[in-house]
Structure 1
Amino acid sequence: MSLTDKAINQIRELVRTGALPPGSKLPPEADLAAQLGLSRNLAREAVKALAVARVLEVRRGDGTYVTSLQPSLLLEGLGGAVELLQSDSAALQDLMEVRRLLEPVATALAATRISDDQLAEVKCHLDAMREARDNVELLNSHDAAFHRAVVAATGNETLLTLLESVSGRTLRARIWRGLVDDQAAGRTLAEHKAIYAALATRDCALSQAAALLHVSNTEQALKEHLRSNQPLPFPPPTQN
């Protein structure tokens, strides 16, 4: 373990034990370094690393604070990491496997908790996907919103953030473009319809099965593209 890693662990331990609770301000750099028996340079590097991890927030001209430590905040970095793995075929398959393990169970849980308003939101995005037809950008947007609405119905913010991070916007767009090019989008839309129909009956077993079929088919489509040695097409740049 490097000296920087040890410094990071020391500060993290102060946060974990409550010595530095959420929202608290860290001592000035010199005082923090002296308190932990570190050089100022090591303390500075540790603070930078924990700021990247969303454990600390550096406010220019004010100081460094412990963040809220909410799971949704701490998991933000995972989404960025997923976006960096888009050219790694093994990593893409691993990510799809994680999604296959988590999303069907989340959908089953949603079936037991989803409200009428939340179900209507899912239906809204399903209808929008039908209208989008072969417009990859719209399909991707409403696909992400559809699945977000389903998982949000669980009421579990950590699960929602984790699944959104694993899915990744770029990966979704590339898969949709591949499906449209292969004229398989109709089948995928039918799978979304089946998920909605199962949720509407509040049947958790049926909802889990529908979600598993959808994610498994998406995973298989990804594997077929990778086996063909033809990289999934990248989506066009997002227009700001």
Structure 2
Amino acid sequence: MRNVARTSLVDTAIEELREEITSGAWPVGTKIPSESQLAESLGMSRLSVREAVRVLAHAGLLTTRQGDGTYVTATDESQIALRRRLDKAAAMDIIDVRRGLDLVAARLAATKRTEQDLEGLHETLRRRDAAGSAGDLDGFADADVDFHLRVADAAHNPLLGELYRSMSEALRDSVRGMEEAALEPDSSHEDLLRAIEDGDASRAVAVSVALLDQQERDL
């Protein structure tokens, strides 16, 4: 980072740190340098750096762990705004949105999936089934969302994948909210995988519709 000598030091520090985050120099999960290290590299006081970190933490790009340090939690503030809106969305609203995304993902995945995509889907479904059998709701929710993320990835449409990832926490919460109903055995996900594996776009869409209809009834 370049040395800074400007009037609004806090604003400048915010922009410098934001650039490190959004450029990918500090990926998500990275522990950023300490306040003293940042102050030295930017040529400003620790107080200015501390305020800049506080602003970026409030924006959702950083999170500070007491006694540990500060970590990057996101790289795009627009995605954070969407995620916060989704966190407040009703479960039915989420299903309504998924009716658009899931049907497109299923149709495209059936025509564009690769062998690697299919291997990943099978592995994720095995984890989902194992968690369900063990009564592990958190593990089940994680694997369930991962399965649908992999379906979106198998569509090989980067925008669709990003949209689905922005909803991932809200999706996990919606699965957890169904509690026992979520863990009941069903073949819908296996049917969806089989349709994608067979390259049958129409059947993949039909299974996705039925799956969402069932989730709506379980709410």
**1:103-162 Cα shifts (integer Å, max 9, x gaps):** 211121011111122112211221222222221122112112211211111222221121
Distance of aligned partners of 1:153 and 1:173 in 2 relative to their CA distance in 1, 3 Å threshold: closer
Aligned residues: 175
- Normalising by structure 2, we get a TM-score of 0.61
Contact 1:140 1:176 in 2 (8 A): yes
Distance of aligned partners of 1:75 and 1:111 in 2 relative to their CA distance in 1, 3 Å threshold: farther
Q: Are 1:100 and 2:73 counterparts?
A: no
Kindly report which structure 2 residues correspond to 1:118-197, keeping only aligned pairs within 5 A, or say none.
118-133=117-132, 134-168=135-169, 171-181=170-180, 183-186=181-184, 189-197=186-194
Give the superposition deviation at 1:74: 6.1
**1:1-38 Cα shifts (integer Å, max 9, x gaps):** xxxxxxxxxxxxxxxxxxxxxxxx899674xxxxxxxx
- Normalising by structure 1, we get a TM-score of 0.57
CA distance in 2, matches of 1:220, 1:53: 42
Contact 1:79 1:166 in 2 (8 A): no
State, as a whole percentage, how many aligned pairs show the same letter: 21
Structure 2 partner of 1:238? none
Q: Are 1:221 and 2:218 counterparts?
A: yes
CA distance in 1, matches of 2:10, 2:179: 51
What value does the CA root-mean-square deviation take over the aligned residues? 3.7
Give the superposition deviation at 1:178: 3.6
CA distance in 2, matches of 1:27, 1:95: 46
Contact 1:96 1:167 in 2 (8 A): no
CA distance in 1, matches of 2:212, 2:17: 35
Q: Are 1:200 and 2:201 counterparts?
A: no
CA distance in 2, matches of 1:27, 1:96: 49
Structure 2 partner of 1:78? 79
CA distance in 1, matches of 2:159, 2:146: 17
Q: Which runs of 5+ in 1 are unaligned?
A: 1-24, 31-38, 64-72, 223-240
Distance of aligned partners of 1:194 and 1:52 in 2 relative to their CA distance in 1, 3 Å threshold: farther
Distance of aligned partners of 1:89 and 1:152 in 2 relative to their CA distance in 1, 3 Å threshold: closer
Distance of aligned partners of 1:89 and 1:117 in 2 relative to their CA distance in 1, 3 Å threshold: closer
CA distance in 2, matches of 1:122, 1:80: 29
Contact 1:75 1:161 in 2 (8 A): no
Give the superposition deviation at 1:212: 2.4
CA distance in 1, matches of 2:25, 2:120: 34
